Amino acid sequence: MTETSCVISCMDEGDILSGHVGSPNPACEIKLVDVPEMNYTSDDQPYPRGEICVRGPIVFQGYYKDEMQTREVLDEDGWLHTGDIGLWHTGGRLKIIDRKKNIFKLAQGEYIAPEKIENVYAKCKFIGQCFIYGDSLNSSLVAIVSVDQDALKAWASSQGIKYKDLEQLCNDPRARAAVQAGMDALRGFEFAKSVTLVLEPFTMENGLLTPTFKIKRAQAKAYFAKAISNMYVELTTSDSSHVK
């Protein structure tokens, strides 16, 4: 990376193990820092995991006339926080496995910054909280929406929609369509093509928020795994019917 002048690790000549970026460059130190909100720690088994941090003479002194951004990546002890998640493999080999900044790629190659999208969608009157999900196996985003219950009830009343309880209303296709219609600030690949409405808020108690109220993305993915899978099945079925 540019901030380290050159490489921070390199594969040894004759190393036949693939899937890693080699051992540390002698000109720098590398450590892995725990990222508890993503379930990566130095105590992980069989391999320690965490954010890759680098220190040494090859590390830059800061961004030109940008002290704020410099402070975001360089700590007071001179460690550069790369934003990459790595693990220590056998023989001191470093392997990159994730990004701390939660940027992921869709099937067609578009890069997604989910937090930016979630912040835009949070302005929708129906949305209390929103978790955006996507991966490199799928071409579309899906969303888990913790609804603003008062807004949803007011909408249902205005539409003359009868329901037994709020859970039934959340499962009503008309309610899902109304929420998606309100999520029209973004188009194209940043638009969530399917939503699941839930009543339960994201909290620290249910393990979905960090102490700084950020979504724990790995935990949210596991927590809503069935709903996410169902949405992609629906989208695949819908796309197939359109082709016919």
Report the pLDDT averaged over residues 173-199. Answer: 92
- Asked whether residue 94 falls in the same domain as residue 128, the answer is no
- Asked whether residue 14 falls in the same domain as residue 92, the answer is yes
- Asked whether residue 165 falls in the same domain as residue 231, the answer is yes
Contact between residue 117 and residue 140 where contact means Cβ atoms under 8 Å apart: no
CA 146, CA 207: separation in Å to the nearest integer? 15
pLDDT in tens, 142-163: 999 999 999 999 999 999 999 9
Considering 84, 99, 114, which residue would you say is the last residue of a domain? 99
Query: Is the model's pLDDT at 244 over the cut of 70?
Result: no
How many domains, in total, are found in the chain?
Answer: 2
* Domain span holding position 10: 2-99
- Asked whether residue 57 falls in the same domain as residue 152, the answer is no
- Asked whether residue 93 falls in the same domain as residue 114, the answer is no
Residue 241 pLDDT grade (very low, low, confident, very high; cuts 50, 70, 90): low
Helix H or strand E encompassing 94: strand 94-99
CA 209, CA 128: separation in Å to the nearest integer? 14
103: Cβ contacts below 8 Å, ≥ 6 apart: 111, 112, 113
pLDDT in tens, 110-133: 888 898 899 999 999 999 999 999
Using only C-alpha atoms, the chain has a radius of gyration, in whole angstroms, of: 22
Q: What per-residue confidence (pLDDT) applies to 104?
A: 82
Considering 68, 99, 130, which residue would you say is the last residue of a domain? 99
CA 94, CA 2: separation in Å to the nearest integer? 19
| pTM: predicted TM-score of the whole model, two decimal places | 0.64
Give the residue carrying structure tokens 């929420």: 179
Q: What per-residue confidence (pLDDT) applies to 242?
A: 54
- Asked whether residue 145 falls in the same domain as residue 215, the answer is yes
- Asked whether residue 14 falls in the same domain as residue 67, the answer is yes
Contact between residue 108 and residue 116 where contact means Cβ atoms under 8 Å apart: no
End-to-end Cα, the chain, rounded Å: 47
For 232, the 3-state DSSP assignment is: helix
